[in-house]
Amino acid sequence: MGLDVPDDAAVYRINDETALVQTVDFFTPVVDDPYQWGAIAVANAISDIYAMGATPLTGLNLVGWPKDLDMDLLARVLEGGADKAEEAGCAVVGGHTVDDPEPKFGMSVTGVVHPDKIVKLSTAKPGMSIILTKPLGMGIIATACKAQRIDKALLKRGTTLMATLNKAGAQAMVEVGAAACTDVTGFGLLGHLRGMLNASGCSANLVADHVPILDGVGGLAKEGLVPGGTQRNRDYFGPFVEFDSDIDPMVQVILFDAQTSGGLLIVVERSKQDAMVKALRKFGTPAASVIGRVVAGPAGTIKVAGRY
């Protein structure tokens, strides 16, 4: 792939039929439950493999753990990660642990893809449709959880979404054929879309009303429960985004929200839009929302309208 246009994962061609896809990700706890944290961390790490249209094969655990913290908690973290990897068909084949004053967990993942079927983030073109496969708000939910100011039902919905693999989205991409893809994580929807558009030399028009947002997240944002990463995203990517004046300021914040294990941002030929939405629903993605179009314009710029 090279580093001139960085993608979600590294790809190394073995032969005419097989390319290795490699990625790594880890982070500090995002929820209180150690099992769920392990599952979310692994779902997040494997996501980059799925974003390339690849199949995960093996994973190596990465652990930073305080020597005076209960090892039974670490066992639950690893159990959550192992179960999620098994769900993905990914064999956990080892790992490495270091003494660390703050707990950290994640995984290095290797997958495979046919060299001719790699889905890149730099191949979007004007006229194509943009589809999102998970609702937004996970960064705000994680912040509210840390502050212990979140409803249990909303936390459960958010935790379930964060632990949901992007496998279904990858299956739909393989079946229908995606033109480009990236996953939505720490840079938020607008940050990751900006990266895709900048690499592709295009612009985009989004419709805020069509972007799925988890119910209850807006209220948390109004309470100020917004992660620092979301604020930094707005500061950094804001100059490339033009919002219509009628868009709720809290919706604008959520569009920049730093996601943990968010969905896939899939770009598809407009003629394949309906087939892609149908396939996403068949395979069971949490959302299958057409949120906008790729258009000709200054590379990496985004216009957000309230509605069509």
Residues 6+ apart with CB under 8 A from 212: 132, 134, 135, 136, 286, 287, 289
Q: What's the mean pLDDT in 232-238?
A: 97
User: For residues 295 and 124, is the Cβ–Cβ distance under 8 A?
Assistant: no
Q: What's the mean pLDDT in 101-109?
A: 98
pLDDT of 5 over the 90 cut: no
Instruction: Report domain extents, the chain.
Output: 10-117, 129-305
pLDDT tens for 259-297 read: 999 999 999 999 999 999 999 999 999 999 999 999 999
pLDDT of 102 over the 80 cut: yes
In CATH terms, the superfamily for domain 129-305 is PurM-like C-terminal domain (3.90.650.10)
Calculate the average pLDDT of the chain. Answer: 95
pLDDT of 308 over the 70 cut: no
User: For residues 266 and 289, is the Cβ–Cβ distance under 8 A?
Assistant: no
One CATH from 3.30.910.20, 3.40.50.720, 3.30.1330.10, 3.30.70.520 for 10-117: 3.30.1330.10
pLDDT classification of 1: cutoffs 50, 70, 90: low
User: Residue 7 has what pLDDT?
Assistant: 83
CB atoms within 10 A of CB 67: 8
pLDDT classification of 6: cutoffs 50, 70, 90: confident
User: For residues 170 and 264, is the Cβ–Cβ distance under 8 A?
Assistant: yes
Q: Give the type of residue at 232.
A: R
User: Residue 307 has what pLDDT?
Assistant: 74
User: For residues 134 and 287, is the Cβ–Cβ distance under 8 A?
Assistant: yes
pLDDT tens for 106-137 read: 999 999 999 999 999 999 999 999 999 999 99
Radius of gyration of the chain (CA): 19
pLDDT tens for 148-194 read: 899 999 999 999 999 999 999 999 999 999 999 999 999 999 999 99
User: Residue 306 has what pLDDT?
Assistant: 81
